Structure 1
Amino acid sequence: MSLETVSFGEILSDLRAFKKVSVEELATEICSIEELIEYEKGKKYPTLDQLYEIADRLNVEVSYFINYASSSTFNYVTAVFQLIKKYKRERDYEAIYEIIDRERENPLFKQISSQQFMLWHEGICKYYLHNNLTESVQLLYRAIDLTNPDRNNLSEHEIEILTSLAIIKFEESDFIAATNIFEDALDNLDSLPHILDPKVKLRILYGLSQTLSGRDLYNESLKYSNLGINYCINNELLYLFGEFYYQSGENYIKIDEIEKGIEYINKAKEVFILQNDEKFAKLVSLELDKLLEKC
């Protein structure tokens, strides 16, 4: 068998046999036996976190699989990015930082686009994990500068990085800076001929709405939260749908349109219930009570 044609499944099967580890032993607490058999037959591939556990149990580095498997059977860089995105959704910044640190010298990540992705998420971790605002901002700008040192006519990917910077400014209650960055991100996004991921625009609209509300500019905030609601409806998306309804409801209450505010916040609650998010549904009810107490 030549190295050019060897598959990930064959590598896994041969290594497991060489290490004298049974299918049952290797699968325990990692995946089902049926899944492991599918991995070895090349019918399915493990997630990256599963791959780390498999490699650890077989006492090899993850790179063992990558060095011998053809790129057509297992795209390691893509798998790493998917795992980082998963941890970002879960706000597990420690897990993200461990991956970045582990792969820092990996030659597979030497392409500019890969370096940019890793710098971007290292910048996020520096803020949320290490509370280092200065280094976080520097890393995020460095990530953008890798592909666009002039910071003009940003690509969608560069806009995502800029949005992360705006969110961090919002977290710092630097609402004016956050507003300016969000507006810059939105202007750049609206100038693109196509948007590949509509969630990018939703994150910007939501950030602008939150930031303007933080500045007590409720009517301006309302403009963006209602734009977000319409964008979700037009694109058939539930992403941030409940949050936009809540933000609009809060804004309406703040400008003394109480009944309309209650209506929108109740719609937010309905959306969270539809998404089986009981925690947020209860939180919305509590926040509504607090808002009405202040009226």
Structure 2
Amino acid sequence: MYYNLEAFGKKITSIRKSHKLTRKQLSKLSFVSVETIRKIETGKHIPSHEILDDLSAVLKIDLNQLLLKYRLGNSQAFDDVKNRMEAKFDRNEYDTLEKEYEDFDNLLQSTKNQYLRKIIRQLMLLIKAVIINHKENNLTKSLETLIEAICITTPNFSSSNYQSFVYNSTEIRILMNIALLLRKLKSREKAIEMLEFCIDMIDSDDEIYPKLCHNLSGIYSLTKQYDKALKYSNLGIDYCLNKREYSGLHILYYGKGIAEYKLGYDEYMESLNKAISFCEILGQEKFKKVIINKCNKFYGIKL
């Protein structure tokens, strides 16, 4: 379900000011952090029911009920296209992404809400950037397209001042892709810095969280920091198991197994076998072959 978070945040700000409260005072009374209140008021965060209940007690209004008034009408159609896009990203199926781009474009034509229009435009540019990267192999142009996408909602953004802003989930998704391009264009250290920023910024129950864990695990493995690679693989696995969201487990267990192998842990075979099993469950036959070949070629592990 999607909401006009910008308008909802402005309403919360208005209510808070009507009570003559600063964010710091509201935080003290409600036990909700100042940072969380700031994210809500700037439209960068979907608060949980519990947080809204805590704020409601101080602001004397049912904020969960108020949030429903800001629900977006085309959210079901939007969810359908977005889920298909993410599924293709997960399976590395870039050749047919034009279909989701066209579907987003059609949705854009029928959507009047300006907040949702911005998100749709951002995701269209994300798809465009991925296509440019994988079909044209033009990393610089792909990076420019991703920066254009973030600037729709954060106009002064650049890869050098990114830490100056607060981001919503869609922006973090784009920022993650920027980090992955910077890994190739500039340095792994810059990419790690940006990915660590992203995972600190996002809530641990956000759907992008396991993807960030996977990418951090992968880049830490490349830099031979296997303890950190294992840490993020485990965090991503915990998220997927707790949410019963299994689509990324084959990648996360693979990263976990390699990190365990490099650290000398006996459990590595169990993790790698789980990676193979989830490949079979999820229909990821290509990735299963990649795991088997890499394990044999680079690590001498026979699966």
TM-score by length of 2: 0.59
Alignment of 1:34-49 (within 5 A): none
- Is the CA contact (8 Å cut-off) linking 1:119 and 1:139 kept in structure 2? yes
Is 1:256 the counterpart of 2:256? The answer is: no
Residue 101 of structure 1 deviates from its aligned partner by 8.1
**2:254 maps to what in 1?**
246
CA-to-aligned-CA distance 1:241-291 (integer Å, 9 cap, x gap): 12211111111211233x222222122223323334444444433433335
The 2-side partners of 1:99 and 1:230 are apart by 30
| Secondary structure of residue in 2 paired with 1:186 | helix
**1:218 maps to what in 2?**
226
Residue 154 of structure 1 deviates from its aligned partner by 0.3
Residue 178 of structure 1 deviates from its aligned partner by 1.9
Q: Which amino acid in the other structure matches residue 203 of structure 1?
A: K
**2:155 maps to what in 1?**
149
- What RMSD in Å do the two structures reach over aligned CA positions? 3.4
Residue 144 of structure 1 deviates from its aligned partner by 1.0
The 2-side partners of 1:82 and 1:276 are apart by 17
The 2-side partners of 1:92 and 1:274 are apart by 18
Given the superposition, is the C-alpha separation of residues 251 and 132 from structure 1 closer, same or farther in structure 2, using an over 3 Å criterion?
same
Structure 1 residue corresponding to 2:242, chosen from 211, 234, 254: 234
Q: Which amino acid in the other structure matches residue 96 of structure 1?
A: L
Given the superposition, is the C-alpha separation of residues 115 and 271 from structure 1 closer, same or farther in structure 2, using an over 3 Å criterion?
closer
**1:205 maps to what in 2?**
213
Q: Note the residue ranges of structure 1 that are not aligned, 5 or more in a row.
A: 1-71
- Is the CA contact (8 Å cut-off) linking 1:265 and 1:288 kept in structure 2? no
The percentage of aligned residue pairs carrying the same residue is 25
Is 1:178 the counterpart of 2:191? The answer is: yes
Is 1:125 the counterpart of 2:134? The answer is: no
Alignment of 1:1-295 (within 5 A): 84-85=85-86, 87-89=88-90, 91-97=92-98, 100=101, 103=105, 107-108=109-110, 111-150=117-156, 152-170=165-183, 174-190=187-203, 195=205, 197-198=206-207, 200-257=208-265, 259-293=266-300
TM-score by length of 1: 0.61
Q: Which amino acid in the other structure matches residue 144 of structure 1?
A: I
- Is the CA contact (8 Å cut-off) linking 1:250 and 1:291 kept in structure 2? no
The 1-side partners of 2:143 and 2:238 are apart by 32
The 2-side partners of 1:100 and 1:271 are apart by 29
The 2-side partners of 1:260 and 1:244 are apart by 14
- Is the CA contact (8 Å cut-off) linking 1:262 and 1:288 kept in structure 2? no
* Highest RCO, 1 vs 2 (Cα 8 Å, sep ≥ 6): 2
| Secondary structure of residue in 1 paired with 2:241 | helix
The 2-side partners of 1:82 and 1:223 are apart by 27
Number of residues of Structure 1 aligned to a counterpart in Structure 2: 216
